[in-house]
Each structure stands twice: as C-alpha cells, then as structure tokens.
Amino acid sequence: MLPIPYKRPRRLRGSEAIRSMVRENHLDAVDLISPIFVINGVDRAEAITSMPGVFRFTVDRAVAEAGAVAALGIPAVLLFGIPNQKDARGSAACDPGEAVQRAVAAIKHHYPDLLVITDVCLCEYSDHGHCGLVKDGLILNDETLPRLAEIALSHVRAGADLVAPSDMMDGRVAAMRSALDAEGFTDRAIISYAVKYASAFYGPFRHAAGSAPQFGCRRTYQMDPANVREALREATLDLEEGADMIMVKPALSYLDVIRAVRETVDVPVVTYNVSGEYAMVKAAAQNGWIDEERVVLEQLLSMKRAGADLIITYHAKDAAGWLQRSKDKKILEGSLDV
C-alpha cells in the first residue's frame, strides 16, 4: 500500500483567502508605466493598427490620456514623439516646439503628481532611422553623445522628471548626467535602457513611430539575444556612469536576464513589455484563442517574479482596471470564492 502523504502543499491552496495569504509576488498599478505616442496637430487620435488599443495622440489628447492613466493609480507615463520632419541629424528631437516637449509641459501642468518619463533617442527623428548619427554607413558613437545630451536637456527643460535613453551608444548616461547637472537639473533621474537586445519584438513600435532603419540593422549597437554576461557588464557600466534605474528590454523572452540583473544591481530594475509582445497577445485575444485578462496578468506577474520592480507596458491601463476590479470584488465578497 502507498503511504498517505503527510506533507500536502494543497493545504495552502484551498481557498482564495489562503492563497492570497501565502502569495509570494504581487502586481499592482504602482508597478506600471504607460507609454504614450505624441504627434503634432490638434484633437487627433490615430489608431496604430499593429497595436490594437494604442494611439498616436496630439498634445491635447495626450493630456487627456495622461489623466486617464493617473486616475487608474498608475504613477508614470513614458512619452515618445513623432515629428513632422525627419533629417540626418534628427534636428526636431530637441526642438522645444515639438510634440514631446509640449506634451511634457502640458501633462505636468495638468497633472503635476504624475511622473513624466521621456524616451531619448534619434531613431524617431532621423531620416535614416538609426539611433545614432551616421557617416559612410556607420553608426557613430562619440559624435552622437552630445546630440543625445541635448535631447535629454530639452525634455528636462520642458519638465520631464526622468529621461530614458534607448539608443545603446556607449557613454551616453555619463554624457547626459553631466549635461543635466551642468544646467542645475541634479534632481532629474536617468532610467537607462542598459540591457536592450536587438529584438524582432520591436516590429509594431517601428511601424507606430516610423522608425525602422532605412539601411542595415541595429545589431552594431543593440545586444545579441544570445548573451547574458554582457547584460551584467552593460548594467554595471551604466551604474558607474550615473544611471538611477536599469532597464531590461524586451521582457518575456528575457526573464532570465531580468533575474540576473536583479541579483547584480542594487537600483530598481525596470522591464519593457514591448510592442511585439503586446501585439501577439492582442491578436490571439481578438481571435478568441486566449483569455486576455488572465494571460496579461500572468505575464506581468512573471516579470515581477523574475525580479522586475517596474514594468513599462501597453497593457498598463487595462491591467490597472482589472486589478482594481478584482480588489473591489474581493472586498465585497470577503475573499470567500474558492
């Protein structure tokens, strides 16, 4: 006869009350950051077809979107700008009259407590679509640094609380830190996209921002998906240069990297649940193949479990709404559903 098991893990799974008591990881609206794409013009919202539910907003509409984000208890937005004009140097990127700079100021004016983070990069603003300056088909590193610092400064002058460089040039964090400090912006933080892979999951974003490289690829500056030791080197370097938080991007195919970075650095770790990850879930949900709410919450929780403190995600508003609803329901029902 088989012995009766006297160690029974199922004892701690019998009801939602006990499951919630022994739960190891939690997801909350305060963990989330909601991206917003901004364009020039007025009162327009352009649907991004490859990212159902995501729009390009004019500044006035971006302010309304930021208000909706804040009302859900999400503490921060991440702004991306799409200019009218692109050129080789990405000149529009540091224009105080451009969409991002105006959106930062308008959002901070209407919602001073909502944190505004800006993406700092050249690819949305350059006609070649690369994240740095280009000469003879090569992506220049050191020549790009002052441009990036200038862009970060223009965002911070407009009121950005944090800047997030996503270009992957070497030395950009130090260049930005000293430029910000030189103008007295010692209080503004840098979230470094320190660990950014050359990923196929950025496809829908590039469609949204019109930022696909016009020649070559990003593999000379973004990381090889095969590497994890290199991620730790990147994270350590950016901390030495003055980064306040470290980002790992994308999220779902890199949960092991999030864990490794979490165990190496002592600053907050952010992960970016990118456009391709979002698009796949949306497509399957629209076909009725998966339960969108459960899949999204499971994926976001897996990022927390891997060690991320914060998650940038296009699901942020939906997730915050679902989390609030289930909290309300539990309170109403006294957590008694089994």
Catalytic hit among 86, 108, 196, 317 = 196
Catalytic hit among 7, 108, 135, 249 = 249
Least distance to ligand PBG, CB of residue 216, Å: 13
Site for ligand PBG in 137-176 (CB under 6 A): 166
Least distance to ligand PBG, CB of residue 252, Å: 12
Strand ranges, E, within the chain? 32-39, 45-47, 55-58, 76-82, 115-120, 134-135, 138-139, 162-165, 189-196, 245-249, 269-273, 310-313
* Comparison of 185 and 205: residue with beta carbon closer to ligand PBG: 205
Contact mark string toward ligand PBG, 267..286, x via CB under 6 A? -------xx-----------
Contact mark string toward ligand PBG, 202..241, x via CB under 6 A? x--xx-----------------------------------
Q: Is 249 a catalytic residue?
A: yes
Least distance to ligand PBG, CB of residue 95, Å: 18
By DSSP bridging, strand 32-39 and strand 55-58 are parallel
Nearest to 269 by CA among 230, 229, 310: 310
Between helix 292-306 and helix 275-286 the angle, nearest 10°, is: 150
**Euclidean distance between CA atoms 199 and 291, whole angstroms:** 26
Structure tokens given for 119: 């993406």
Alpha-carbon Rg for the chain in angstroms: 21
**Euclidean distance between CA atoms 257 and 295, whole angstroms:** 21
Pair 294, 331: CB distance under 8 Å: no
Structure tokens given for 186: 């010692």
Least distance to ligand PBG, CB of residue 331, Å: 34
Least distance to ligand PBG, CB of residue 335, Å: 36
**Euclidean distance between CA atoms 292 and 284, whole angstroms:** 8
With binding defined as CB under 6 A, does residue 125 bind ligand PBG? no
Q: Is 196 a catalytic residue?
A: yes
* Comparison of 205 and 254: residue with beta carbon closer to ligand PBG: 205
Determine the interface stretch with ligand PBG among 10-18, 119-127, 148-156, 330-338 (rule: CB under 6 A): 119-127
Residues lying near ligand PBG in the complex (CB under 6 A) are found at 119, 121, 123, 131, 166, 202, 205-206, 274-275
Give the residue numbers marked as catalytic.
196, 249
